[in-house]
């Protein structure tokens, strides 16, 4: 039995002459068609595809018709693998300055939720910052955020735990707290590359019975931004119209945090602070519990802090 002659450098060919009832039933008619199918498969096997560009550049001109269906199906499955609930992010292998330059033009190609950049503070602490959303705050706030950006937050809390206030009080909310000052100090320990890439943004924060407008470089999420609703914070000022961050919608894995880089993945979970004061108490602020649930804690307790910021 002879072997079919397959070319070393096949060309992908979608055109094949149809066989009809009048086509002679011989190997001369069958073999060329079979070779074409084999060469198409070999071409696909040997080719390297930029799956995102394939999907983004689709030009579907006919209802229900997708050109090069096998290639597109593989591309879509690849995107699902990298953007589904099980996707845990990859190191972006770029500086914050490079990320800023990329997203400032509205270019989010190659970026996915939970992709991350590791950095060190001036005290030598290792920190991982992961993407939690794309253009999350565009046009929001007062002053409004008018630049393209990615929302990032530390994957785990920093190694130092902080009190909200020395006294058991939530009067004035986050803006009147010692924790606000602590966050400003934390920013000074970040590398210059990161500090220069941060986009200052307008935030609405509860002042405990009032609505506060402020500008922040580092901030803590509200209870609604983590859970999508208010549980212990005020129904009106507690959410301030904020929406749940995309990164919190897929998995509790990113809600639950530990004290220090990599600790949550080892099962060492902690309580961490949110920016919302408790609605029914004059002493408590909202937190995320070690179990991933909405909770609260007295303001003079020491808990984890996971700063968030915009790059753009």
Whether 201 is covered by a domain: the verdict is yes
3-state secondary structure of 139: coil
Whether 236 is covered by a domain: the verdict is yes
Question: Do 30 and 177 fall within a single domain?
Answer: no
Q: Which of 180, 235, 171, 215 is nearest to 310 (CA)?
A: 215
Question: Do 8 and 72 fall within a single domain?
Answer: no
CA distance linking residue 15 with residue 23, whole number of Å: 17
- Number of domains the chain is built from: 3
User: Percentage of the chain with pLDDT > 90?
Assistant: 61
- Predicted confidence at residue 259, as pLDDT, reads 98
Question: Do 301 and 202 fall within a single domain?
Answer: yes
Q: Which residue has the higher pLDDT, 121 or 212?
A: 121
Question: Do 274 and 197 fall within a single domain?
Answer: yes
Question: Do 69 and 101 fall within a single domain?
Answer: no
3-state secondary structure of 157: strand
Whether 102 is covered by a domain: the verdict is yes
Whether 277 is covered by a domain: the verdict is yes
Of 18-32, 60-74, 220-234, give the lowest mean pLDDT range.
60-74
Give the highest mean pLDDT range of 13-22, 95-104, 203-212.
95-104
CA distance linking residue 309 with residue 194, whole number of Å: 10
- Predicted confidence at residue 40, as pLDDT, reads 75
Question: Do 76 and 212 fall within a single domain?
Answer: no
Whether 66 is covered by a domain: the verdict is yes
Whether 204 is covered by a domain: the verdict is yes
Question: Do 181 and 220 fall within a single domain?
Answer: yes
Question: Do 208 and 259 fall within a single domain?
Answer: yes
Whether 253 is covered by a domain: the verdict is yes
Taking the whole predicted model, whether its pTM rises above 0.85 is answered as: no
Write out the residue range of the structural domain in which residue 279 sits.
96-311
| DSSP single-letter state for residue 196 | H
pLDDT band at 274 (very low <50, low <70, confident <90, very high): very high
Question: Do 123 and 55 fall within a single domain?
Answer: no
Whether 90 is covered by a domain: the verdict is no
Question: Do 39 and 55 fall within a single domain?
Answer: no
């Amino acid at each position: 039995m002879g072997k079919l002659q397959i070319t070393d450098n096949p060309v992908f060919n979608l055109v094949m002459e149809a066989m009809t009832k009048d086509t002679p039933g011989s190997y001369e008619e069958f073999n060329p068609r079979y070779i074409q199918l084999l060469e198409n498969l070999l071409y696909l096997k040997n080719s390297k595809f930029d799956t995102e560009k394939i999907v983004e550049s689709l030009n579907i001109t006919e209802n229900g018709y997708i050109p090069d269906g096998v290639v597109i199906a593989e591309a879509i499955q690849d995107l699902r693998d990298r953007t589904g609930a099980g996707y845990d992010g990859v190191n972006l292998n770029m500086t914050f300055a490079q990320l800023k330059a990329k997203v400032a033009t509205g270019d989010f190609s190659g970026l996915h939720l939970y992709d991350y950049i590791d950095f060190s503070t001036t005290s030598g602490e290792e920190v991982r910052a992961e993407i939690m959303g794309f253009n999350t705050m565009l046009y929001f706030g007062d002053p409004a955020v008018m630049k393209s950006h990615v929302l990032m937050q530390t994957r785990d809390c920093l190694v130092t735990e902080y009190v909200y206030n020395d006294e058991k009080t939530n009067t004035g909310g986050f803006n009147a707290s010692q924790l606000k000052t602590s966050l400003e100090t934390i920013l000074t320990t970040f590398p210059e590359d990161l500090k220069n890439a941060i986009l200052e943004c307008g935030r609405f924060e509860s002042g405990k019975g009032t609505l506060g407008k402020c500008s922040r470089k580092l901030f803590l999420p509200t209870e609604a931004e983590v859970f999508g609703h208010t549980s212990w914070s005020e129904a009106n000022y507690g959410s301030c119209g904020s929406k749940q961050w995309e990164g919190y919608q897929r998995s509790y894995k990113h809600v639950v945090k530990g004290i220090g880089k990599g600790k949550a993945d080892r099962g060492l979970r902690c309580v961490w602070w949110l920016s919302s004061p408790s609605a029914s108490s004059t002493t408590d602020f909202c937190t995320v519990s070690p179990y991933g649930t909405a909770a609260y804690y007295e303001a003079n307790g020491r808990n984890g802090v996971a700063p968030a910021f915009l790059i753009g």
